[in-house]
Amino acid sequence: AQTVTQSQPEMSVQEAETVTLSCTYDTSENNYYLFWYKQPPSRQMILVIRQEAYKQQNATENRFSVNFQKAAKSFSLKISDSQLGDTAMYFCAPNAGNNRKLIWGLGTSLAVNP
């Protein structure tokens, strides 16, 4: 079965510092996308960043970047210059399931402290 593991249930970071959230997954698919979603207390699901599995270059979106290791099936998220508004639950989700399904991790709760 395809699975996603986010090994850090909770993390905290000081404002302006850098934090890395880890994600590993299991799939037999070769062509897929990987996503990080953010869910603030408002509960809205917001796309943070996406990576295409066939691309070797790691995706970057402003202060957010990923370290994608396809062979190791690892997809970590780095947040630089953390801001108070980054406080949220973060979910890793590759769409490497059968019939293009997203596979969801259980999430990492990130607290950015002033």
* Binding interface with other proteins (CB under 8 A): 31-33, 35, 43-45, 47, 50, 91, 93, 95, 99-102, 104-107
C-beta separation of 70 from 52 below 8 A: no
Q: How far is CA 57 from CA 10, 52, 53, 66, 95, in A?
A: 28, 9, 10, 10, 19
In the complex, minimum distance from the CB of residue 114 to other proteins, in angstroms, rounded to a whole number: 26
Measured between alpha carbons, how far is 111 from 98 in angstroms, rounded to an integer?
Answer: 34
Of residues 33 and 64, the one with the C-beta less far from other proteins: 33
Of residues 67 and 95, the one with the C-beta less far from other proteins: 95
Of residues 79 and 107, the one with the C-beta less far from other proteins: 107
